Structure 1
């Protein structure tokens, strides 16, 4: 259609204005949002609360996400991503399979201690964050299976015990993620991972 046809083009859709921020500033903002959500949960915290406490404008927050839902998802991904990197760096400092596994699980326990009960409850009941949690839980189970497999191949673990332990750990981690193990034991997720680390340390040794 020609420009002279007399038809007025539709007005552009309005989208939230975003203030340009550099990568370092964005990471700083995301870390602040994550810390607030981890401490207090995210259901009761509004965008206005965040801007007031972080002393920034809504347009600045839009560099992370243009809605509260996007902020929540970004914070959950940031938490699990940064903690996974930290844990893997710590594990990389060790060579012995036994120590690698317990270091990994103790690292997961330490990460989960950052979760307040409010955040954990919000996370597992909000589908987008529950999915993020489930994906990371599945990855944790897979990492433990990989490390146990390495231990079996190196001769540090007995093959039968190693295979069985890998399956038990996977089931335990899944039970923590689903809440079943927490309900039946009264432990928190962090306490459960710490107990699992101790159980493996005493149960997988070749001389046990």
Structure 2
């Protein structure tokens, strides 16, 4: 007699599949891959993929959501133990840059060309800008930063984050994403320090 799956097994398996899917997409992109190729690469069946999403387009969007959820958890865990507003913003932006550093140019091009995935990226960039605004506001309240307009500073950061995401910074400066985020952190925190 077959044993029923252990509680949490299905969730763990889904997470493993999404992790593998994200890793595949980050390296190779996704536009050129068929569902058959994805299933072969993940060593699963197409029917297994259909338990994750109803179509390739939905699968790409769900994988993009998974990537950003995983990245957000990682970024937040990195700044949690850090004290000091300047250090927290620097750690936050550096962690965002590191999370995006795993993305190949092909993945970024595919993401930009596919509106449902691009929308997920843009929403997460706006979330990150909001988080930077929170960190700036905390720093102003603590006296670490001069009294700046936190929403403006966050909007400035968001504008650069979008340019980094769209590879504009790389094209014009040669900086990879991780270094671009480090420079953004240095300029932003230096400009608002008390």
Shorter-chain TM-score bucket reads: 0.7 to 0.9
* Partner Cα separation in structure 1 for residue 98 and residue 168 of structure 2: 20
* Partner Cα separation in structure 1 for residue 16 and residue 69 of structure 2: 15
The aligned counterpart of 1:28 is 16
1:51 is aligned to 2:39: yes
Q: How far 1:178 sits from its partner (Å)?
A: 5.0
Deviations 1:63-108 (A, max 9, x none): 1112111110111000001100111111111121111101100000
* Partner Cα separation in structure 2 for residue 164 and residue 67 of structure 1: 40
Taking the TM superposition and a 5 Å limit, the aligned residue runs for 1:3-22 are 22=10
* Partner Cα separation in structure 2 for residue 58 and residue 199 of structure 1: 48
The aligned counterpart of 2:5 is none
Q: Which moved more, 1:179-188 or 1:192-201?
A: 179-188
Q: Which moved more, 1:54-63 or 1:173-182?
A: 173-182
User: Quick one: which of 172, 178, 186 aligns to 2:160?
Assistant: 172
Equivalent residues of 2:31, 2:110 under 8 A apart: yes
Q: How far 1:186 sits from its partner (Å)?
A: 3.9
Equivalent residues of 2:53, 2:59 under 8 A apart: yes
1:205 is aligned to 2:187: no
Whose RCO is larger (CA < 8 A, sep 6+)?
2
Q: How far 1:205 sits from its partner (Å)?
A: 3.3
Q: How far 1:167 sits from its partner (Å)?
A: 4.2
- Structure 2: 5+ residue runs without aligned partners? 1-8
Q: Greater helix percent: which structure? A: 2
* Partner Cα separation in structure 2 for residue 162 and residue 184 of structure 1: 27
TM-score (norm 1): 0.81
1:66 is aligned to 2:54: yes
Partner of 1:22: helix, strand, or coil?
helix
State the aligned residue count. 186
The aligned counterpart of 1:38 is 26
User: Quick one: which of 92, 98, 106 aligns to 2:94?
Assistant: 106
Q: Which moved more, 1:156-165 or 1:192-201?
A: 156-165
The aligned counterpart of 1:86 is 74
* Partner Cα separation in structure 2 for residue 164 and residue 111 of structure 1: 25
Taking the TM superposition and a 5 Å limit, the aligned residue runs for 1:119-134 are 119-134=107-122
Equivalent residues of 1:73, 1:129 under 8 A apart: yes
Q: How far 1:109 sits from its partner (Å)?
A: 0.4
* Partner Cα separation in structure 2 for residue 162 and residue 79 of structure 1: 28
The aligned counterpart of 1:159 is 147
